[in-house]
């Protein structure tokens, strides 16, 4: 394996995931022959496999990636020549290693901006050119971390009154780096929320989730809505103030509706939502095991 080359990209705002970064080797400040530092001006988010002319685009590489924060909606993707996503990794401050084949590029998409404006970000890349055998060996030893859990928060001055037949509502979340929570402020929307707008996992996965209402009248509900018929099921009712609900399941195009009234005049009603990824098949295995325990399955 070759000696590692470190690239530090500094940006005043988010990486957009698609705009090609046109920096070349000459645009970088270089120290120790292998440590490259540059500022990305304007939009940017796509990095070619030649890494700014330092490497051949036709060589295999193991690339370490590290980022400013652990925002679960900031990610890097390995994209092949046909614009297909081969690998997706949630960015964290810890270095994670991904594999790049000849002709691949990196797509970096971050979501760090706040309602008050952009947030400076920094991406570090550790690039190694490898042989085929080293490529496989390093990949086995350093699998990327899979993000399986996330937490969201919606803050409202008023009640949650579910309108299950309304056009779905997609909240706008912003990352709070202090609490490590995605937060949204919305005082009016009452429509059900698509699980895809809450869960960062691919649609091939299901999602287990739970909600907690704070400053409520002990009347919170957890409601799952079917997207086509708008039929709904109240999975948990009378959720007590500041208590977590039972865990519910949603997948694909399911929606969830929020329901609670505020118990503090002039105060915020806050709902926290925790979600965890469910592997394909695990939900059915869980249902089967539960039914087996009470003698409900016949094969």
**Same domain for 223 and 177:** yes
CA distance 147 to 96: 12
> What percent of the chain shows pLDDT beyond 90?
68
Q: Where are the alpha helices (DSSP H) in 121-185?
A: 132-141
b/e 93-130 (16+ beta carbons within 10 angstroms → b): eeebbbbbeeebbbbbbbbbeeeeeebebebbbbbbbb
**Same domain for 124 and 67:** yes
**Same domain for 124 and 41:** yes
pLDDT range class, residue 130, cuts 50, 70, 90:
confident
pLDDT range class, residue 145, cuts 50, 70, 90:
low
**Same domain for 16 and 136:** yes
pLDDT range class, residue 298, cuts 50, 70, 90:
very low
Asked if residue 297 is part of any domain, the answer here is no
pLDDT range class, residue 284, cuts 50, 70, 90:
confident
**Same domain for 178 and 52:** no
pLDDT at residue 299, rounded to an integer: 46
Q: Contact, 216 vs 241, CB < 8 A?
A: yes
CA distance 16 to 162: 34
**Same domain for 249 and 137:** no
Range of the domain at 29: 5-141
The Cα angle at residue 45 between residues 44 and 49, in degrees rounded to 5: 115
pLDDT at residue 149, rounded to an integer: 72
Asked if residue 293 is part of any domain, the answer here is no
Asked if residue 292 is part of any domain, the answer here is no
pLDDT at residue 282, rounded to an integer: 85
Task: Name the E strands within 3-157.
Answer: 5-11, 29-31, 35-40, 46-47, 61-67, 75-79, 85-90, 96-100, 105-109, 121-129, 149-156
What tokens were used for 293? Answer: 């325990």
pLDDT at residue 295, rounded to an integer: 63
pTM: 0.66
**Same domain for 98 and 10:** yes
Q: Contact, 226 vs 194, CB < 8 A?
A: no
Residues constituting the chain: 299
Asked if residue 220 is part of any domain, the answer here is yes
Higher-scoring residue by pLDDT: 145, 68: 68
Asked if residue 28 is part of any domain, the answer here is yes
**Same domain for 179 and 200:** yes
pLDDT at residue 164, rounded to an integer: 96
Question: Does residue 100 surpass a pLDDT of 70?
Answer: yes
Last residue of a domain, one of 106, 141, 176: 141
Asked if residue 62 is part of any domain, the answer here is yes
Strand partners, 107: 46, 77
Burial class (CB in 10 A: 0-12, 13-18, 19+), 259: buried
Asked if residue 291 is part of any domain, the answer here is no
Q: Contact, 31 vs 66, CB < 8 A?
A: no
Last residue of a domain, one of 141, 167, 201: 141
CA distance 257 to 128: 47
Q: Tens of pLDDT along 229-268? A: 999 999 999 999 999 999 999 999 999 999 999 988 778 9
Residues 158-187 have a mean pLDDT of 93
What tokens were used for 111? Answer: 């979501």
CA distance 221 to 270: 13
Q: Tens of pLDDT along 36-62? A: 999 999 999 999 999 999 999 889 899
**Same domain for 212 and 238:** yes
**Same domain for 153 and 137:** no
pLDDT range class, residue 141, cuts 50, 70, 90:
confident
Q: How many domains does the chain divide into?
A: 2
**Same domain for 100 and 228:** no
**Same domain for 275 and 155:** yes
What tokens were used for 189? Answer: 């929307």
What is 168-209 written as a DSSP string?
A: P-----EEETTTTEEEEE-SS--S-EEHHHH--S-TTSEEEE
Q: Which of 266, 68, 53 is nearest to 157 (CA)?
A: 266
Last residue of a domain, one of 141, 169, 203: 141
Among 33-37, 68-72, 86-90, 212-216, the range of highest mean pLDDT:
212-216
Asked if residue 190 is part of any domain, the answer here is yes
Q: Tens of pLDDT along 186-219? A: 999 999 999 999 988 777 788 999 999 999 999 9
pLDDT at residue 135, rounded to an integer: 67
3-state secondary structure of 275: strand
What tokens were used for 175? Answer: 């990352």
| Integer CA distances (angstroms), 79 to 47, 99, 123, 156, in order | 10, 11, 18, 39
Residue 64 sits in a domain of what CATH number? 2.60.120
pLDDT range class, residue 2, cuts 50, 70, 90:
low
């Amino acid at each position: 394996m070759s000696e590692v080359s470190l690239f530090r990209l500094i940006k005043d705002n988010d990486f957009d995931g698609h705009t090609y970064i046109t920096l070349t080797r000459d645009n970088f400040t270089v120290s120790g022959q292998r440590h490259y530092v540059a500022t990305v001006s304007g939009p940017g988010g796509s990095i070619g496999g030649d890494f700014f002319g330092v490497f051949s685009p036709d060589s295999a590489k193991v690339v370490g990636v590290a980022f400013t924060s652990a925002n679960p909606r900031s990610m890097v993707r390995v994209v092949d020549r046909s614009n297909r996503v081969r690998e997706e990794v949630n960015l964290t401050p810890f270095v994670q290693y991904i594999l790049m084949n000849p002709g691949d590029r990196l797509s970096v998409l971050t979501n760090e901006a706040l309602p008050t404006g952009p947030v400076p970000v920094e991406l570090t890349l550790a690039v190694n050119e490898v042989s085929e055998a080293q490529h496989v060996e390093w990949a086995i030893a350093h699998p990327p971390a899979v993000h399986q859990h996330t937490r969201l928060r919606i803050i409202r001055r008023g009640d949650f009154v579910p309108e299950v037949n309304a056009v779905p509502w997609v909240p706008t979340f912003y990352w709070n780096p202090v609490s490590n929570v995605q937060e949204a402020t919305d005082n009016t929307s009452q429509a059900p929320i698509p699980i895809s707008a809450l869960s960062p996992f691919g649609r091939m996965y299901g999602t287990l989730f739970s909600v907690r209402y704070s400053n409520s009248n002990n009347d919170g509900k957890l409601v799952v809505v079917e997207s086509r018929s708008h039929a709904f099921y109240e999975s948990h009712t009378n959720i007590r103030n500041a208590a977590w609900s039972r865990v519910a399941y949603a997948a694909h195009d399911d929606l969830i509706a929020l329901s609670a009234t505020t118990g503090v005049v002039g105060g915020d009603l806050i709902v926290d939502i925790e979600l965890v990824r469910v592997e394909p098949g695990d939900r059915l295995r869980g249902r089967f095991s539960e039914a087996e325990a009470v003698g409900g399955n016949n094969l």
